[in-house]
Amino acid sequence: MPLPPNETHFTITIVAKFLSNLKIGDSHHKPVSPKASYTAMPGGSHFVRFGFLFICFFCVTGCGGVTGQPATSSPNQPAQPGQSVQFGHVFILVEENAEYSNVISNPAMPYLNSLGMQNGIATNYYANGHPSIPNYFELTAGQTLTFDDSATPQGFPISADNVVHELIAAGKSWKSYAESLPSAGYTGNDSGKYAVRHNPLAYFSDVQNSNSQAQNLVPFTQLASDLSAGTLPQYSFIVPNLCDDAHDCSLTTADSWLQNNIDSLVKSSAFQKNGLLIIVFDEADTSDVAHGGGHIPAVIVSPFAKHGFQSTTFYQHQSALRLSLEGLGVTKLPGDAAKAPAMWEFFNAQ
């Protein structure tokens, strides 16, 4: 965005005063770097000063100067295509604590890698922080909110805008399918292999303050029943337990769980009609703090996905949140999702 006229005039005035005192070729100035080359032109230093002034003017008025706004594109972040796909069902499934390099092309995870090869992989996707909980909230509220993994729904209820709030406002259905959840509507603390910090929807006041909304927190076994009955919600958040998400058990265990429990969903007629599944890890190893939470795998699965597509665009969890909502026709996006890079490059236009 260009600077306002008064700021542009001030900036150019300062630059002009600086250049008016510049003596091109004076012995007390450092010689021109060998990397730069100049051609002598009539007018000598006046011509050079005018050239510098023109360039500065162009940069300030055409490129926007220094405004404090993040760049909208970069060599690794090309201009994004507009939305071209509408999904009937969106599923978010979060795995735990693994580096991109330890998952993608790892023979210990053949099923997940096969999904990526047949659909899409975000090769430049980074978590937002350490430990787990800020990433789960970024995926569902567009904010990290807390870095305390011991926070519970009762002790840390969240009234900030979030995915449930916007789904309800848009008239969309939703459920959280959590493995080892003690019972439907449970908003309590950890229980056995169930970790509440991995089930962020339980923290939202939109859920806690409504008995009907709380009943959308269901055990994972309900997913197969809803698939069979044709009653899948439009938005689903899938939470494997502490073993099956690779937190406490191996990547091989997590991959076997995916194949045994998710493959039937991916192959179902409901999903093949217009479904989207995002399988993403919450964070990398704690030693990797790149962009907050390290380099992680994200696999995008859909009948609309470009076959074998590998994106080099920089993404974080807020982009997955944006995709999950916009893909369902929800236009108001919580927190960071509103300005996050869109992920429509993964899909063929429909």
Q: Which domains does the chain have, with CATH numbers?
A: 5-62 (no CATH), 89-346 (3.40.720.10)
The pLDDT of 208-234, averaged and rounded, is: 98
Q: Across the beta sheet with 298-301, what order do the strands follow?
A: 217-219, 174-178, 235-239, 89-95, 275-281, 298-301, 120-122, 309-311
The pLDDT of 298-322, averaged and rounded, is: 98
Chain-wide mean pLDDT for the chain?
Answer: 83
Q: 81: pLDDT confidence band, cut at 50, 70 and 90?
A: low
Percent of the chain with pLDDT over 70: 77
Question: Is residue 127 helix, strand or coil?
Answer: coil
Structure tokens at 333: 């996006």
Q: 14: pLDDT confidence band, cut at 50, 70 and 90?
A: very low
pLDDT digits (tens, 9 = 90+) for 154-181: 999 999 999 999 999 999 999 999 999 9
pLDDT of residue 232 exceeding 70: yes
Per-position DSSP letters for 162-219, written without gaps between them: -HHHHHHHTT--EEEEETT-SSTT---S-BTTB-GGG-GGGGBHHHHT-HHHHTTEEE
pLDDT of residue 75 exceeding 70: no
pLDDT of residue 48 exceeding 50: no
Q: State the Cα–Cα distance between residues 68 and 262, nearest whole angstrom.
A: 43
Q: Which helix (H) or strand (E) holds 236?
A: strand 235-239
